Structure 1
Amino acid sequence: MASWVGPPPLNKPKKRLWGLLGDLEFEVGEAPKSFGLQEKTNYAEHERIEGKPRLQWTGDSLDSLDLAFAWHCDWCDPDQKLEELRQLKDTHEPQRLVIGARFIGSFVIESISSNLKRTDPTGVTIQSEAQVKLKESPIMKDFSTVGSRSAKNFALISPFRRQA
């Protein structure tokens, strides 16, 4: 008779969905521990014969998001979550980001960095962390076709911008 090695099997309660990145669902316990936004505006600098240069706004850069995840075997399978992110990155396709009922935008996964924090004596992952960099991908013709859920019902409101 084989004995169980590693963390006990998960007895998960009913799902409490925090958000989506493409088809990848994040429950409340799996949500990022930090969520950073970088917005950038571009300016051209024009030299003048006399006086200081002038600036001319040339447009906005693509937004970047930094997500930091901390996963523990008590509420999810850390290795599975990391593998799901890697598979999503390898599609090289824009993915919709939805938090709660808000459509944040379309993003590609630019990079994933992971840290194995703790294992059991047999090497089974107990705790891991991941840092994910997302880059805005504003050219998505029909975001309702990306993923299995329809995004048409989500409000097109960003939680980062002030609403008029």
Structure 2
Amino acid sequence: MFLMLGAVRLDVLTVRGLQISDGWTYAEHAVVEGRPKLQFTGAKLRDASIDFRLRRDWGDPEVLLDQLRTLAEAGEAQLLQRGDGRLIGLFVITGLTDSPKWSISNGRPVEVEASMTLKEYVPEDGQRPAPVAVVGSAMARRG
């Protein structure tokens, strides 16, 4: 397994790219007869994008896409976790695009290229999940 979003597995064979973007914000204050000053205001929410390819010989592409759409439509944050067990954080799905590359005669896709965009979700208490290994993961077994 390369990634898990909630209970949905994205395997090494399928994931083609993972990008996580962090950012920080600053307020700019004008100063009389001087250069503006910056004041750190905090971290932005993380953005993540995952590019993946689904093939029928690895499992039904439509089943995985339906699972991801169900997660997105539920509107509930899900844990995003790497295959080694490290938690990346809580995320919601903000976009899912799929493009069938070839299909069998009845139209069912055999190969699909897809991409998913995620936005970090921070609970009311403002605390991000600690980036530690989940019990039973390869990372936890090493530690």
* TM-score, length of structure 2 as denominator length: 0.81
Alignment RMSD (CA, Å) = 2.3
Residue 113 (structure 1) aligned with residue 109 (structure 2): no
Q: State the shift of 1:140 in Å.
A: 7.5
Pick aligned residue for 2:114 from 130, 144, 148: 130
- Aligned partner of 1:10 in structure 2 is none
CA distance in 2, matches of 1:70, 1:43: 38
Residue 47 (structure 1) aligned with residue 30 (structure 2): yes
Q: State the shift of 1:27 in Å.
A: 2.9
Residue 153 (structure 1) aligned with residue 128 (structure 2): no
Query: Alpha carbons of 1:114 and 1:22: their partners in 2 closer, same or farther (altered >3 Å)?
Result: same
Amino acid at match of 1:86: R
Q: Secondary structure at the match of 1:79?
A: helix
Pick aligned residue for 2:12 from 16, 28, 50: 28
CA distance in 2, matches of 1:51, 1:68: 46
Structure 1: where are the runs of 5+ without partners? 1-16, 142-150, 158-164
Over residues 84-142 of structure 1, what are the superposed CA-to-partner deviations in whole Å (9 max), with x where a residue is unaligned?
A: 1101111100101111221111111111111121112221101111111111112188x
Amino acid at match of 1:110: T
Q: Secondary structure at the match of 2:10?
A: strand
* TM-score, length of structure 1 as denominator length: 0.72
Amino acid at match of 1:96: L
- Aligned partner of 2:2 in structure 1 is 18
Contact 1:96/1:104 (CA < 8 Å) preserved in 2? Answer: yes
Identify, as 1 or 2, the structure richer in strand. Answer: 2
CA distance in 2, matches of 1:125, 1:140: 41
CA distance in 2, matches of 1:138, 1:99: 19
Larger Rg: 1
CA distance in 1, matches of 2:113, 2:23: 27
Over residues 48-93 of structure 1, what are the superposed CA-to-partner deviations in whole Å (9 max), with x where a residue is unaligned?
A: 1212211111111100100111111121211111111101111100
Percent identity of equivalent pairs: 32
Residue 71 (structure 1) aligned with residue 29 (structure 2): no
Contact 1:62/1:137 (CA < 8 Å) preserved in 2? Answer: yes
Q: State the shift of 1:26 in Å.
A: 2.5
Amino acid at match of 1:38: S
Query: Alpha carbons of 1:128 and 1:140: their partners in 2 closer, same or farther (altered >3 Å)?
Result: farther
Structure 2: where are the runs of 5+ without partners? 126-132
